[in-house]
Structure 1
Amino acid sequence: MDMNRILFFIITAQFFSTSVWFASSAILPELANNFSNPKNLISSIPTATQFGFILGTLVFSIFAIVDRFSPSRVFFFSAFLASIFNLTLIIQEQDFLFLIAGRFMVGFFLAGVYPVGMKIASDHFSDSLGKSLGYLVGALVLGTALPHCIKFVQNELSYQYLVYATSLLALIGGFIILLFVPDGIHRKKLHVFEIQSFLASFESKKFRSAAWGYFGHMWELYTFWTFVPLFLESYFTLHKIHSSYTLLSLFSFLVISIGSLGCVFAGSISNRLGIKFTANLFLAISGFCCFLFPIFYFNANFVLFIGFLLFWGFAVVADSPMFSTSVAHSSPEDKRGSSLTIINCIGFAITILSIKFFSFSLEYYDLGYVVLILSIGPIIGLLYQFKNSQFKIISKSR
């Protein structure tokens, strides 16, 4: 079996299938025009997707679905259903509850795509998992940013075409896994199902350490991604720079998608620096960027500000595959899928708190200072690493 070919198929499928995740965020301005209270829609749609993902990962974890059944088949059916529910964005785009329910179901079935994709990779690449997950999470980042790119390219076309395109890509991604990626040679099926088995990994100190680092990372990451367009729009307004939806889409795509290079870079250097050190290094860098933001936001020229956001976008997600690798390595092999899924469940629950707290703070304080809230996650994550003596200058990767 050609492992490079397998990795290519997993990466491509992940990239295609996760494109439905932020499809709604890319067209929010157009959707908002259909409602009298657009602010309610703008905050509710991303939150509905996150809630769906949280409930989905909780269900997948409790019932150990990915550990009991073929991960490739779980991925296919999840991608297929996510692509179908993504179409609710254009079926009744003037029905608020219908849109919210549709995005909730997209999030629910993405629980069978993102963490399951990592499980598939861990079953094939146990010895080089850090590097493999670097590519895989990089694909997730590109998939997340893809709707902004499609919107930029198809600026003159109706936003419905973006929805059709992302649903088609998700469907293709599911078929790629089903047809070309068999279950991995390192897969160990869970034969005895116990409803509390997904909590077994938390008994490990190494698992808890990786989990806390991941939770701190998640507090920052998705709030950053969600508000990148607002960062840009507010900067343009503050410095009286003319902009358009097209320009915002282009720069949003660049700032988010450059994180894929950060993931690949982190995966590449982790073999030399160690998984834990690499994860904590990028967590510290992205946390430091939170404190630098006010300086660049208020004082920097356009080129420096965009350069800073690109650097932050590069670093903010680079620690994600490293923490996921640590979680996978410290989990029981027959419960690895459920462990990855429950960590995603808790992590995305944290993102909702972060996004809501950030949005609430914007009503009272200037954006330039509200961004400092994002530093809370990296600080807590790093403090936990220091507390458990996990932050070492150089540590051997497993």
Structure 2
Amino acid sequence: MKQLLKNYPLTVIVLAQLFGTSLWFSINSVAFNLTEHIGLTEAGLGHLTLAVQFGFITGTLLLAVSGLADRYPASRVFTLAALLGALSNALFIVIADTFSLALLFRFLTGLCLAGIYPIGMKLVISWTPQYAGRALGWLVGMLTLGTAFPHLLRAATPSLNWQYTLLLASLLAVIAAGLIFLLGEGRELPRRSYGVSPLQGLTAWKDKRFRKISAGYFGHSWELYAFWTLVPFLVGREISRLNAEPFWISWLAFGVIGLGLFGCVVGGFISRSTGSLGVAKSMLMASGLICLLYPFLGQLPPWVLLTLLALWGFTVIADSPQFSALASANAPKEHLGSALAMMNAIGFSLTLPAIALVTSFWPSMELWVLFFLLPGPVAGLWAMFKLEKNQLKEI
């Protein structure tokens, strides 16, 4: 079994990423059910989403500053994180009625996700360095599909209690842990760095190129998760205008977010000929333009807006793997895990105010809250246009 998995490492890693990251938005997929059963409001959902983000940020900071991302085998860190994440996600069922505990367990789930996403990137680089841009496209695509997957689970099981959706997500995370445990480590990066001072893992930030790449990623992050949080509300608005059944919200939310998988994969293939920098710029520009125009188009027919949402879902994440590929190429290999973890920590910290703004003001502003997302693409593009392609390493 182990040898079979090692023959297809990229397939194993991206499947594990899909299954493991299904924990991320598992609560969002049953938000309307929680509204009925425990009186969860839009603001409450925003707080639960923020708790996951804050947990992820805390976890990535711990990985980066402590050096754990480079001290221990990535496969073991991933395995433990996926198992603990599955447990904390499942226990949410028991404590959902107590909001303070609900926040705590979503925080713990986010903490565990820090051992899945950035560590998954390190595993990809260690197994498939020869086509990292394309491979990271698949990896981030599976993160995207994993984010959307709970919506699919909910749509496919409308008659089941909402608790089963969470349990299915936890089961998928356990399978992810088993896959990565059996796969083990790649050979292209140092496995352990016990003798390295933890803070030396931050040396990548001395490089001007790495800082500019990170700044582009930060702008992308500001937009991305706030948009994903809003997707059920944006879809729900159009379903209401169509007088369609509410169960379509889960199906269409899955479709809008899941299209990001194809954006990531297509971007990865294009990057082989144009380079990661060009793909990152063009996708960030496209999503930023949709963000700018969407509120002005709010009275167009619902199917037009749903199509525009699908295009936004395609472009909003397609630049992410290219930022990761550029960062991986321009960071020291012996500190790659820590550098990526720190980049993720800062990027995801920027999702907190963005999510808080859009969920707090949605009831009063609706589509106009999208203007809160616009500074992300603008700032990201400003940083990326200051980079010259011939100054960068690409992998």
State the partner residue of 2:388. Answer: 390
Identity of aligned residues (%): 34
Q: Deviations over 1:169-227 (max 9, x none)?
A: 00000100001x22111111324232322321110111111101100000111011000
State the partner residue of 1:212. Answer: 215
State the partner residue of 2:142. Answer: 139
Q: Deviations over 1:135-186 (max 9, x none)?
A: 011111111100000000000111111111110000000100001x221111
State the partner residue of 1:258. Answer: 259
Alignment of 1:9 onto 2:17? no
CA displacement at 1:369 relative to structure 2: 2.3
1: CA distance, partners of 2:31 / 2:177: 26
Is residue 329–residue 393 contact of structure 2 (8 Å, CA) maintained in 1? no
Alignment of 1:201 onto 2:204? yes
Q: Which amino acid aligns with 1:369?
A: W
1: CA distance, partners of 2:86 / 2:328: 28
TM value normalised by structure 2: 0.94
Moved more, 80-89 or 194-203: 194-203
Is residue 236–residue 246 contact of structure 2 (8 Å, CA) maintained in 1? no
Q: Which amino acid aligns with 2:316?
A: V
2: CA distance, partners of 1:195 / 1:15: 30
Alignment of 1:371 onto 2:370? yes
Aligned residue for 2:298, secondary structure, equals helix
Is residue 277–residue 395 contact of structure 1 (8 Å, CA) maintained in 2? no
Q: Which 4+ stretches in 1 moved above 6 angstroms?
A: 1-4
CA displacement at 1:396 relative to structure 2: 8.2
1: CA distance, partners of 2:249 / 2:39: 24
Which residues of structure 2 form unaligned runs of 5+? Answer: none
Q: Which amino acid aligns with 1:372?
A: F
Q: Which amino acid aligns with 1:281?
A: S
Q: Kindly tell me: are residues 221 and 113 of structure 1, through their superposed partners in 2, closer, same or farther at Cα, counting changes over 3 Å?
A: same
Task: Please point out which of 84, 96, 106 is paired with 1:81.
Answer: 84
Is residue 232–residue 248 contact of structure 1 (8 Å, CA) maintained in 2? yes
State the partner residue of 1:109. Answer: 112
CA displacement at 1:40 relative to structure 2: 4.5
Q: CA RMSD in A?
A: 1.9
CA displacement at 1:255 relative to structure 2: 0.1
Is residue 130–residue 267 contact of structure 1 (8 Å, CA) maintained in 2? yes
Where does 1:346-361 land on structure 2 (aligned, <5 Å)? 346-361=346-361
CA displacement at 1:305 relative to structure 2: 1.5
Q: Which amino acid aligns with 1:390?
A: E
Where does 1:130-279 land on structure 2 (aligned, <5 Å)? 130-179=133-182, 181-188=183-190, 189-237=192-240, 240-279=241-280
2: CA distance, partners of 1:235 / 1:307: 11
State the partner residue of 2:305. Answer: 305
Q: Which amino acid aligns with 1:375?
A: L
State the partner residue of 1:286. Answer: 287
CA displacement at 1:316 relative to structure 2: 0.5
State the partner residue of 2:323. Answer: 323
Task: Please point out which of 83, 90, 93 is paired with 1:90.
Answer: 93
State the partner residue of 2:35. Answer: 32
CA displacement at 1:25 relative to structure 2: 0.7
2: CA distance, partners of 1:338 / 1:112: 12
Q: Which amino acid aligns with 1:185?
A: R
2: CA distance, partners of 1:334 / 1:317: 28
1: CA distance, partners of 2:193 / 2:380: 31
Is residue 134–residue 322 contact of structure 1 (8 Å, CA) maintained in 2? yes
State the partner residue of 1:67. Answer: 70
CA displacement at 1:252 relative to structure 2: 0.2
2: CA distance, partners of 1:163 / 1:339: 32
CA displacement at 1:298 relative to structure 2: 1.9
Q: Which amino acid aligns with 1:352?
A: L
Is residue 16–residue 166 contact of structure 1 (8 Å, CA) maintained in 2? yes
Is residue 275–residue 396 contact of structure 1 (8 Å, CA) maintained in 2? no
CA displacement at 1:345 relative to structure 2: 0.6
Q: Kindly tell me: are residues 359 and 93 of structure 1, through their superposed partners in 2, closer, same or farther at Cα, counting changes over 3 Å?
A: closer
Q: Which amino acid aligns with 1:377?
A: G
CA displacement at 1:4 relative to structure 2: 6.2
Is residue 385–residue 391 contact of structure 1 (8 Å, CA) maintained in 2? no
CA displacement at 1:296 relative to structure 2: 3.3
Which residues of structure 1 form unaligned runs of 5+? Answer: none
2: CA distance, partners of 1:271 / 1:170: 31
Corresponding residue pairs, total: 391
State the partner residue of 1:334. Answer: 334
Q: Deviations over 1:20-67 (max 9, x none)?
A: 111111112222334456344222111111111111111111111121
Q: Which amino acid aligns with 1:249?
A: S
2: CA distance, partners of 1:187 / 1:322: 20
